[in-house]
Amino acid sequence: MNSLLFQLLQALLMVLLAPLVAGFLSTIKAHLQNRRGAGIMQPWRDIQKLFAKEVVLADHASWIFRFTPYIVFTATLMAASVVPALLVDTPLSLTADVIALVALLALARFFLSLAGMDIGTAFGGMGSSREMTFSALAEPAMLMSVLVLAIGAHSTNITTMITHTLTTPLLIQPSIAFALVAMLMIAVAETGRIPIDNPTTHLELTMIHEAMLLEYSGRHLALMEWASMVKLLLFTTLIIDLFMPWGIASEASLIGIVLALAIWLFKLMGLLIILAVFETSLAKLRLFEVPQYLGTAFVLSFLGLIIHYMLEVSV
Amino acid sequence: MLRILHQIMKVGTITEPLARNQDFEVLGEQLKSTVKKRFQGSLAIRLVDAGSCNGCELEIHAANNAYYDIERFGVHFTASPRFADMLLVTGPVSINMKTALEMTYDAMPAPKLVVAMGDCAINCGIFGQDNYAIAGSVSDIIPVDTIIHGCPPSPTALIQGILSTLNQPEG
């Protein structure tokens, strides 16, 4: 019962913190552009306003278009509650594994792409086609990267994988380094950041994720934006969980959880600052170079897998 | 990459301090509180260039740059009319942009506001009302809430215009 309550609290924390994370990232980016920026709370204000606005639907919008924001938000929320942020074993993270996590994100993406095509605008269809092309390359690479760790832990369950990392002595494992680099590359692509996609662009021709949202308004848009913020937080938390889980609470004691929260926030901020620096100093990749980028991520995680067998498995 | 990071560090924050541009800062703070009241602290603007000479666009661009940084008052420009609370129209409405402007207005969710920016948007300006390529001023095509005078209006005038639009009684 207690752990169930904690699971709910953790999911709630992820959802409520996600806009702040997006705000933090854009504030850091604003400072890197020598501006002051709108502040950490701005994404919250945007969401709040959008919920108060009218919803405008195109004449030929079908049920897919109307249902998609709810499906996408719920699927992302489910995925976010699978990932342990503060406590290692929560009920949901024990039932669902990494493959279920990827499947939940794929479900959200499937409906998002359908909704992009539903209205029939040129940009929506273009965004859907790009999203599908890149996700077909990014998903296997992500699974491969996670598998490097899963093989060491003999499980695809995130809780087991974290426990394995926490209990094994700290050694430099080259396979994990390869998997980490691959995972960072994929996380950038999956969350639609520079150099793959630009979340602040106004140029429809360069859009991937935003192009599918162009027809949404009001509360639908708010849910879509919110879901993509949750996804960003989800991926950063997943990277923390898989590659640097030290500090996460293994038992539900108050002190342990407060400490875990502080350490988690610290790591989160570190990753976001790194992301902001990279986003500011890199240009967006040409669209046709993205498959090569994702291919590189796949090759890196595959190398990690091979190195794991060559060097780290004792015969 | 390192060169860019070095440059960033060297320049520092250049958003103008209070003393150097009193008007903009004071109006900006008023704008911030008004936006908070009317739109929960987030005003999304869709810009439509209905046939302008791009002078107004340069000023809007300036309002978004690191000196003026209009974003810090909770105002941002969007990629789609569906996201927008305010339609900012520049230039006289050319015949080819008339339908596009009407469609943009129809695509916006309520509550929506319309601001005509620059002398051309108000009375066709230098292009003239009887020009063969022009359908009329903005108010001939869609209902306009406020106008911003100037050719082109400065970022301060732009903020003042947005502010007076928001201060109008609702409805």
A34–B15 C-beta distance less than 8 A: yes
The tokens of B109 are what? 């969710």
pLDDT on residue A134: 93
Residues in A touching B107 (Cβ below 8 Å): 56
**Secondary structure in 3-state letters for chain A:** CHHHHHHHHHHHHHHHHHHHHHHHHHHHHHHHCCCCCCCCCHHHHHHHHHHHCCCCCCCCCCHHHHHHHHHHHHHHHHHHHHCCCCECCCHHHHHCCHHHHHHHHHHHHHHHHHHHHHCCCHHHHHHHHHHHHHHHHHHHHHHHHHHHHHHHHCCCCHHHHHHHHHHCCCCCCHHHHHHHHHHHHHHHHHCCCCCCCCCCCCCHHHCCHHHHHCCCCHHHHHHHHHHHHHHHHHHHHHHHHHHCCCCCECCCCHHHHHHHHHHHHHHHHHHHHHHHHHHHHCCCCCHHHHHHHHHHHHHHHHHHHHHHHHHHCCC
Which of A27, A28, A41, A46 has the highest number of chain B CBs within 10 A, making it the mutation to test binding with B?
Answer: A46
The tokens of A152 are what? 């060491």
pLDDT on residue A315: 52
pLDDT(A313) > 90: no
Between A4 and B155, the higher pLDDT residue: B155
A204–B82 C-beta distance less than 8 A: no
Residues in B touching A56 (Cβ below 8 Å): 82, 107-109
**Residues A66-106: pLDDT tens digits?**
999 999 999 999 999 889 888 887 888 778 788 999 999 99
pLDDT on residue A7: 86
pLDDT on residue A1: 56
Which chain A residue shows the shortest CA-CA distance from B17?
A: A36
A202–B13 C-beta distance less than 8 A: no
pLDDT on residue B20: 54
pLDDT on residue A86: 87
Closest-CA distance, B108 to chain A, in angstroms, reads: 7
B110–A54 C-beta distance less than 8 A: yes
**Cβ–Cβ < 8 Å for A73, A54:** no
Q: Which domain holds residue A38?
A: 2-312
Closest-CA distance, A34 to chain B, in angstroms, reads: 4
Describe the crossing of helices A218-243 and A2-32 by its angle, rounded to 10 degrees: 100
pLDDT(A200) > 70: yes
pLDDT band at A169 (very low <50, low <70, confident <90, very high): confident
pLDDT on residue B171: 56
pLDDT(A314) > 70: no
pLDDT band at B16 (very low <50, low <70, confident <90, very high): low
| Number of domains into which chain A is organized | 1
pLDDT on residue A93: 77
CB-nearest to B79 from A33, A36, A204 is: A204
pLDDT on residue B21: 60
B40–A49 C-beta distance less than 8 A: yes
pLDDT on residue B98: 94
A280–B110 C-beta distance less than 8 A: no
Region A267-287: mean pLDDT is 93
**Residues B50-86: pLDDT tens digits?**
999 999 999 999 999 888 889 999 999 998 999 999 9
pLDDT band at B15 (very low <50, low <70, confident <90, very high): confident
**Residues A109-151: pLDDT tens digits?**
999 999 999 988 899 999 999 999 999 999 999 999 999 989 8
Closest-CA distance, A33 to chain B, in angstroms, reads: 7
CB-nearest to B40 from A32, A48, A54 is: A48
pLDDT on residue A226: 96
Q: Of B116, B114, B37, B44, which Cα lies nearest the Cα of B82?
A: B44
pLDDT on residue A202: 84
Closest-CA distance, B109 to chain A, in angstroms, reads: 5
CA A27/CA B72 separation, integer angstroms: 10
The tokens of B44 are what? 């999304």
**Which amino acid, residue B105?**
Y
B66–A282 C-beta distance less than 8 A: no
What contacts A191, CB < 8 A, 6 or more positions away?
Answer: A228, A231, A232, A235
B15–A35 C-beta distance less than 8 A: yes
CA B24/CA B67 separation, integer angstroms: 11
Residues in B touching A49 (Cβ below 8 Å): 39-42, 85
Residues in A touching B1 (Cβ below 8 Å): 281-282
pLDDT band at A231 (very low <50, low <70, confident <90, very high): very high
pLDDT on residue B17: 61
**Residues B75-118: pLDDT tens digits?**
999 989 999 999 999 999 999 999 999 999 999 998 899 999 99
**Cβ–Cβ < 8 Å for B150, B119:** yes
Region A57-72: mean pLDDT is 93
A35–B13 C-beta distance less than 8 A: yes
pLDDT on residue A172: 76
Residues in B touching A213 (Cβ below 8 Å): 80
**Which architecture does CATH list for B42-167?**
3-Layer(aba) Sandwich (3.40)
Domain boundaries defined on chain B: 42-167
pLDDT(A31) > 60: yes
Q: What is the DSSP letter of B65?
A: S
Residues in A touching B42 (Cβ below 8 Å): 42, 45-46, 48-49
Residues in B touching A37 (Cβ below 8 Å): 69, 71-72
